Amino acid sequence: MAEMKAKYLGGLQVECEHLKSGAKLMTSPQAGTPAAGETFSPTGLCAAALSACVLTMMGAYATKNGLDIEGAEIETSLAMGEEPHRIASITLIINMPPKGYSDKEKKILERVAKTCPVGNSLSEQLVRELVFNWQ
């Protein structure tokens, strides 16, 4: 059974629906095309999925081990490549809240961030940069 569906609405707009919850999101193309930048682009969603996955993995580890990462945020950017047209790089700037993490906890959380299934599913050619800002 399908988990989600996508419907082309015309004008380069696509509506995606999560079937179990009914949650919907729209996509529009990246900059430089008609209707660009009106909402998430498909490539932007890929980068957002990586960010969400990183935070989810870190959150799961934190919950299991009595750490608090609430308030952690990721600033996400991507760069496109050509031949073939693709996402060439994704940079995640991970801003951690000031919670007094030990050096050991920081090292473990940084390692856990690199274990997310979305990241493990992306091409080896994709350059991924994770930058941690510990406050």
Q: What is the mean pLDDT of each run of 10 residues along the chain (135 residues)?
A: 94 93 92 73 94 98 97 96 93 97 98 97 95 96
Amino acid 30: pLDDT: 76
Looking at residue 135, its pLDDT comes to 87
- Structure confidence at residue 98 (pLDDT): 97
Domain residue spans of the chain? 1-40, 42-134
The confidence score (pLDDT) of residue 33 equals 67
Architecture of domain 42-134: 2-Layer Sandwich (3.30)
DSSP 65-117: TT---TT-EEEEEEEEETTTTEEEEEEEEEEE--S---HHHHHHHHHHHTT-H
pLDDT at 38: 76
pLDDT score recorded for residue 35:
64
Instruction: Give the pLDDT confidence score for residue 62 in this predicted structure.
Output: 97
State if pTM tops 0.85: yes
